[in-house]
Amino acid sequence: MKLFSSKTLLATAMSVVFAVSTFSAASAAPMSRKPQDNLFYATSTEPLGLDPALVDDNDSGNINCNIYESLLKFKADNTEIEPSLAESWTISEDGLTYVFKLRQGVKFHDGTPFNAQAVKFNIDRQMPENLVPKMSYAPLVFGDVQSTKVIDDYTIEIKLKKRSTPFLRNMAMCFAAPIASPDALKKFNNNLMENPVGTGPYKLVAWDKGQQLILTTNEDYWGKKPPVQNVIYKIMKETSARVVALNNGEVDIINGIDANVIDQLKQGGSKIFEAEGNNVNYMVYNCRDGYVTADREVRKALAQAINVPEMVQSLYKGYATFAPSFFPTFMSGYDPNVKAVTYDPEAAKKFLAEKGIKELRILTYSNARYYNTVGGQVLAEAVQAYFDKVGVKAKVDVYDWTTFKSKLLTDKWDITFIGWVGDNGDPDNFINILAANDPISNQGLWQNKEFIEIIEKATHVADGPERIALYQKAEAVLAEDVGVLPISHAKTLAAYRPNIEGKFTHPIGLNFFDQVKKN
């Protein structure tokens, strides 16, 4: 897709000015030449797409959370919910019926009015009978929905099959929950991956694949207008290139940084944003029939071969912490008594030799991720070295993120690496991916009946000690069966120029650009 007809960026050494180019007739007015009106953000990985119902990656979420809105939203610095497209809501005594009063006078970017019919259209689109393969978040957000009913133009009723404790938090997420223009969905055949139309403070102007996306202010936005008029979202795969661009003033904010570049950034006058991350970086075993890693004892031995604390310290140098269990320490359900398999190379070597396991295939990604700032290749090669010490030769195949995601579904592999960034602060959202029976959410298809039953029950138990105990039990089952191997919890890191102000990185790992000001 290329909505933009000529090259767009001219950078001076210390001040980046957006050069006005020729826009299509349908696009916004020419961009401002004032530097403070144009925010340049550089990242390592391109979004998979711009339809919130069809994506599950943070790179897409980073764009979509600025283009689309959900009925509810999170507060600026935590995961407490507050009104957004819905001004208020009521819940029936039995917890099964939610009635949302909607904001009036809101329009989608294409001029379509926002109303209850639009909300119903978006939810019904993701109900089981209408699901398409890439709607991996729909079961999480709408799995307990029985029906939707338009009461009037600005009132929508949602009935659930059973109580759902995380339902309201799910309705604030940037995956599945955002409301897209029904007219656009009809026009583009139920797929807005390249033609996003929401109600948010920004709208897409151009997407030069592999290069950049350009967002500009939605002049008809119902809320407060963003301080920065335009956002230029640059795709720069190499960390070193992003660091140089930031220090030279060619971009304003970068992500995907690691401990190895912190000093260089500081010496160049850039600032570092650092916060505890709501994420987990983990190793996945292929548990499909016919794979050696489908055997729990093999998974245990491979875990014993890796000195995870040593590896985490070596790779992340204090900017990620060793993950003895899947949950971060601050997550409801974390249990300090639950421990993953510990390092025992002699036991691993003996068992793997007896089983005749001499070769494995590791599939990984090349780019830095929020939960793995050194990138998948570096992590895979570290694990490869540990396997080599116990007599197992691992072949590492590396692909860019988009290709990697595709090959997870089509290729043969024994080990891979993935991560999760919590979307809403609820433990259900964090761990239930491992109870899914689809390979998009649960890449290794580890299926443990006890674990699945616990996760299902916990969804419908009210917040409190009983629910916490269920998630602690789920973590224990995961650790005992070696469903995955938790590796690390990364700190949220970003770097920015001194003239940038605002809360541009939310605890859920997304960047809301309407919170950013450029002086």
Question: For 506-518, what is the mean pLDDT?
Answer: 91
pLDDT at position 25: 30
Q: Is the pLDDT of residue 6 over 90?
A: no
> How do beta strands 516-518 and 500-502 pair?
antiparallel
Q: Is the pLDDT of residue 15 over 50?
A: no
Q: Which two tokens stand for residue 69?
A: 């809105």
pLDDT at position 76: 86
Give the pLDDT band of residue 508 (cuts 50, 70, 90).
Answer: confident
pLDDT at position 19: 34
> How do beta strands 155-160 and 38-43 pair?
unpaired
Burial of 244: CB neighbours in 10 Å, binned 0-12, 13-18, 19+: middle
Using only C-alpha atoms, the chain has a radius of gyration, in whole angstroms, of: 23
pLDDT at position 506: 86
Give the pLDDT band of residue 408 (cuts 50, 70, 90).
Answer: very high
Give the pLDDT band of residue 406 (cuts 50, 70, 90).
Answer: very high
pTM of the model: 0.84
Per-chain mean pLDDT for the chain: 92
* Eight-class DSSP state of 46: -
pLDDT at position 277: 87
Give the pLDDT band of residue 78 (cuts 50, 70, 90).
Answer: confident
> Which residue, among 397, 398, 381, 387, has the nearest Cα to 358 in the 3D structure?
387
pLDDT at position 370: 87
Percent of the chain whose pLDDT exceeds 70: 94
Q: Which two tokens stand for residue 135?
A: 């709607």
> How do beta strands 38-43 and 253-254 pair?
parallel
Q: How far apart are CA 127 and CA 185, in angstroms?
A: 15
Q: Which two tokens stand for residue 414?
A: 């024994």
Question: For 462-466, what is the mean pLDDT?
Answer: 94
Which residue type occupies 488?
S
* Eight-class DSSP state of 411: S
List, for residues 21-73, the tens digit of each pLDDT value. 333 333 444 456 788 899 999 999 999 999 999 999 999 999 999 999 999 99
Beta strand residue intervals within 422-503, DSSP E: 484-490, 492-496, 500-502
- List of long-range contacts for 181-187, beta carbons under 8 Å, 24+ apart: 181/108, 181/109, 181/110, 181/112, 181/118, 182/112, 182/117, 182/118, 182/121, 182/122, 183/108, 183/110, 183/112, 184/108, 184/110, 184/112, 185/121, 185/125
Q: Is the pLDDT of residue 4 over 60?
A: no
Q: Count of residues for the chain?
A: 519
Question: For 488-510, what is the mean pLDDT?
Answer: 90
Neighbour order of strands in the sheet with 492-496:
202-208, 212-217, 230-235, 38-43, 253-254, 492-496, 271-275
List, for residues 154-181, the tens digit of each pLDDT value. 999 999 999 999 999 999 999 999 999 9
